[in-house]
Structures are given as C-alpha cells and as structure tokens.
Amino acid sequence: MRALIITTGSRGDVQPFVALSRALTQSGHEAVIAAPRRFGALVSRHGTEFLPMDEGVLALQDDLTHRGLLTALTSARAVAPLLRAWLDDVARLVGTECDVVVYAPKALGATDLADRIGVPSIAALTVPLYTPTGEFGTPLVPARLPAALRRPSWRLVSAVEGAHRGLVGRWRSGRLGLSGPPAKLAERIASEGALHLWSRHLLSAPADWPSGAAPLGALGLPRESGWTPPESLTRFLSEGEAPVYVGFGSTVARDPDGLTRAVVEGVRLSGRRAILASGWGALSSRPQSSKEVLVVDEVPHDHVFAHVAVAVHHGGAGTVAAALRAGVPQVVRPFVGDQWFWGQRVRAIGVGPAPLTGRLSPESVAAAITRATEHTDRAERLAELVKEEEANAPGDAVRRVLAAASRAS
C-alpha cells in the first residue's frame, strides 16, 4: 500500500505525519509526504520521499491565527492568491501514485485531490475539531462554554472553512475537472472517520462520539541520532538542580521583551534556573546566558524535557504530548487557537496548574512554577501510561490507514 500524506502548518503540525510515514514504511508499506518545502530536511532525515509545496500558506495561517477568528471569517479576498498558489501545487500531485490520501484538515484541496485520483482519503488530527460533542465546546473558542452552547459552537469550524469554499470550488472544477461543490470536512470525516492522534489520558473520547473516533495516542519521532546537544547545554544541565524550560515554539508575541522579562524574573523568584528557548518571536533573543539562564534558539523537546523540573510553554498539541511523555509537570501560557483548550486539559488531568492568561508578571510566573512542582508525582505516573499507549499507537494508526485504503473510492 502506498500513502500520499498531505500536510501543512508549523513543525508541530507536520511532525506527527512524519512519524506516521515511518510507521507505514516499518510495516512494509510506502509513503510520500507533500508539505511546505521548509520541512524537506525533516522528512528526508526519516527516510520518506518528499514533495515540496508552496509556503505562502504558512504566512497566511500565522496571520489568521494571530489576528483571531473574526479575521479568519472575513479575509478570504486578501488571502486568495496565497491559497491559489497552494492549490496549484496540490493539483500538480494528480499524477502521484497512491492508494490512499492521508491529510491534515489545514491542507486545502487534499480531499478533492483524492477524488480526482480516484482513491479513498482519511484525515489525521492532533486536535478534536470535526466530531461534535456536548461534553465541551470547540477548541477554537478559548472560553469555557455553558452546556447549551457546546454542541452549537462546533459550527464555527465549518464557518471558517466556508470562507474559502468558493475559491476551492472553482479550483476543483477548473483545475481538477470535478463536478459539484467540495464536501464539507465535517461531513467527510463523519463518513470516512479520522485518526485522532492524541492521548486518551489527556482527552478521552466523549460518550457521544462514535466508537471509531477514540484517540489512538500521539505519534512521536525517535530522538534524532544526528543531533548532538551543544556543550553549553550539557554543562548547564550538570551544574545545578534541574532547571525550568521556557519556550513558546513558533508563537509570536506582541511584546516579546516584556514577556521575556516576566518569565526570566519569575523563574528567578521561584528559586530556579532556566533554559530559555527564544523560538520564532514570542521571546526576545536579547538576554545573555548566565549561571542562572541558558538562552538557546531551540532544542529538541525529547532531549531537554527529560532533564527539567517544569516545562513552561504555549500549549501546542505536540509540546503537551512531549511533556506528558517525559513525565514533567507543565505550565501553559496559551496564545492562540486550541492552546487554551490543551492548557485546560493539562490542569484537568493533574499535571499542571491553571493556564496563565493575560499579561504575565514575575509573581504570577513564579507562583505557577511553584504550583507545577506539586504535580510532579502525577506527571511521572501518567508518563508510564502514555508511553505504553504510544508503543501501540503507530500500529493502530497503520491499521486505520490500511482500512481506509481498502474502501472503494
């Protein structure tokens, strides 16, 4: 069986699909990944064929994410050229030999491509977005919703998708030669199912979900053999008690200098040292490393989380999963999208305090770090369950993809 995997987004969005491709090839199948060209090295390092795609859509997604839901609903005209460039690259995949298309919902046009090739498709999600429930509202809404509004809130997902349905429909008929409008993703996923790639120990399947929607567990990559920790990191970890990790991934903050001052001073007030991962813009790169603070651009979570006392991060699905796997308590400072949702789940399962919100102060950061350490035993116990689950997740995911490939298109 040969799978065409189409994904886009941040590294955290793409990495689970690379792990899925590894699971497929290790099971004797073939996989090819189509993703923004910046991820070519990541995909190739793990032995998967790579098809580079346009990257303009990443700028679009960052812009919409950081400007909020209303912008996503009203910006179709301004972003149309970026979407057309992505869709044109999707159309060029028509000649790709495959038996099934596995796609991220962010990857516009993937289901239409499957229809054009004449093969089945199946979505893979790291966030619950397309299977409504009355137990909680859509993760797109940061606020907790009363029971009466939870199920209706899931319509917002289709509203965001609907902003670009006209563009996708014209591309579908003009470039792919398909008749009829594109299917709504919620309807497509309801009929085809999806791979839900998060831990059931983080979020179990709601009682009103279909049986096939149960989460399979997160798909992680093995520690990259080619990566060697810098000497400064090795020395810093050996020179004192376990530090606090602070990093907000690819999130962009409005005031990186102010946020950096708050977290550095907050860690100091807590009586601990810090590893500060400046990332893509949430934190300033101006602080100089010292005996108390080591500043790095980025460092693999699977390496550093095993050596820290607390992980302070943005609440991305991949980072939450990495911290769960490492058994380290978490402090979530959400910025956008589903990060509030995962921050609340971290609190609910007992591996961290309530998420930090609003403008941070050194005092609020210090208090959250101190509270997080009270969850260390729970985090360590849960890590054993998560690792057991993740040992089975790749095989379960492969079986689901095989079942999808066996369907008549």
- AA letter at 135: E
Is 253 within 8 Å of 335 (Cβ atoms)? yes
CATH topology match: 2-196 vs 231-387: yes
Q: Where are the alpha helices (DSSP H) in 179-308?
A: 185-192, 231-238, 256-269, 301-304
What are the structural domain ranges in the chain?
2-196, 231-387
Instruction: Check residue 77 and give its pLDDT.
Output: 61
| pTM, two decimal places | 0.91
User: What own/partner pairs with CB < 8 Å and gap ≥ 24 does 369-376 have?
Assistant: 369/244, 369/266, 369/267, 369/270, 369/272, 369/310, 369/312, 369/331, 370/270, 372/310, 372/329, 372/330, 372/331, 373/309, 373/310, 373/329, 374/329, 375/329, 375/350, 375/351, 376/309, 376/328, 376/329
Instruction: Check residue 302 and give its pLDDT.
Output: 87
Helix, strand, coil percentages for the chain (3-state, nearest 5): 45, 10, 40
What topology is assigned to 231-387 in CATH? Rossmann fold (3.40.50)
- According to DSSP, the β-strands at 310-313 and 330-332 are parallel
- 172 conformational bin, left if phi > 0, alpha if psi -120 to 50, beta if neither: alpha
Instruction: Check residue 163 and give its pLDDT.
Output: 78
CATH number given to 2-196: 3.40.50.2000
Kindly state the helix (H) or strand (E) to which residue 114 belongs, with its residue range.
helix 110-117
Cα atoms in the 13 Å half-sphere on the side-chain side of 231 = 0
Rg of the chain over Cα atoms, rounded to whole angstroms, equals: 21
Among residues 340, 357, 385, the alpha carbon closest in space to that of 143 is found at 340
Instruction: Check residue 253 and give its pLDDT.
Output: 74
C-alpha 305, offset from chain centre: 18
* Phi, psi torsion values for 270, nearest 5 degrees: -75, -10
CA distance 167 to 3: 27
The residue count of the chain comes to 409
Mean pLDDT (10-residue bins), the chain, 409 residues: 94 92 97 96 92 82 51 59 92 97 95 97 95 93 88 87 88 96 91 95 96 94 75 93 91 82 95 88 74 88 94 94 97 92 97 94 97 98 97 97 87
Tokens standing for 361?
């102060």
- The conformation of residue 109, written as its DSSP 8-state character, comes to T
CA distance 260 to 265: 8
Instruction: Check residue 179 and give its pLDDT.
Output: 94
Strand partners, 5: 33, 102
